[in-house]
Amino acid sequence: MAIEEECGVFGVFRPEAARVALDSYYALYALQHRGQESCGIVVNDDGVFAEHRDLGLVGDVFSADVLERLGTGEMATGHVRYGTTGARSRVNAQPLVVNHMKGTMALAHNGNLANAAELRRELEGRGSVFQTSTDTEVISYEIIHARLKTASIESAVEAAMGRLVGAYSLVVMSPKKLLAVRDPHGFRPLCIGTLDDGGVVFASETCALHAVGATYLRDVEPGEIVIAERPEVADPEVPIRLRSIRTHCGTKPHSACVFEYIYFARPDSDVDGMSVHIARQRAGRFLAQAHPVEADIVIGVPDSGLDAAMGFSHESGIAYDTGFIKNKYIGRTFISPGQSSRERGVRIKLNPVPSVVAGKRVVLVDDSIVRGTTSKRIIGLLREAGATEVHFRVSAPPFLNPCYYGTDIDSRDNLIACHLSEEEIREEIGADSLGYLSIEDARRMAEPAKIGGFCTACFDGNYPTPVRAEVDRYTLGLSTGQPKPMDRPTISQVKEARP
Other CB atoms within 10 Å distance of the CB of residue 466: 12
To the question of whether residue 455 is assigned a binding role by annotation, the answer is yes
Q: What is the distance between the alpha carbons of residues 469 and 387, in angstroms, rounded to a whole number?
A: 48
**Is 458 part of any known ligand binding site?**
yes
Provide the pLDDT for residue 5.
52
**Residue 7 known to be catalytic:** yes
pLDDT digits (tens, 9 = 90+) for 373-421: 889 999 999 999 999 999 999 999 999 999 889 877 767 887 999 999 9
CATH 3.40.50.2020 fits 279-330+338-449, yes or no: yes
Indicate the Cα dihedral angle 399, 401, 402, 407, nearest 10°. Answer: -40
| pLDDT tens, residue by residue, 410-431 | 678 879 999 999 999 999 999 9
418 is in an annotated binding site: no
Which member of 7, 39, 191, 207 is catalytic?
Answer: 7
Q: Which amino acid is at 229?
A: E
Q: Give the SS3 label for residue 330.
A: coil
Under a CB-based contact definition with an 8 Å cutoff, are residues 219 and 170 in contact? no
Nearest to 190 by CA among 164, 169, 163: 169
Q: Would you identify the CATH topology of the domain 8-252?
A: Glutamine Phosphoribosylpyrophosphate, subunit 1, domain 1 (3.60.20)
Q: What are the boundaries of each domain within the chain?
A: 8-252, 279-330+338-449
**Residue pLDDT, tens place only, 188-241:** 999 999 999 999 999 999 999 999 999 999 999 999 999 999 998 888 889 999
- Whole-structure pTM value: 0.89
94, 34 contact by CB (below 8 A): no
Q: How far apart are CA 28 and CA 33, in angstroms?
A: 9
- Give the bridge partners for 271, in sequence order: 274
| DSSP label of 234 | -
Neighbours of 109 (CB within 10 A): 30
Predicted confidence at residue 217, as pLDDT, reads 98
d(CA 184, CA 161) in angstroms, rounded, equals: 9
pLDDT at 334: 39
In this structure, the number of other CB atoms found within 10 A of the CB of residue 426 comes to: 17
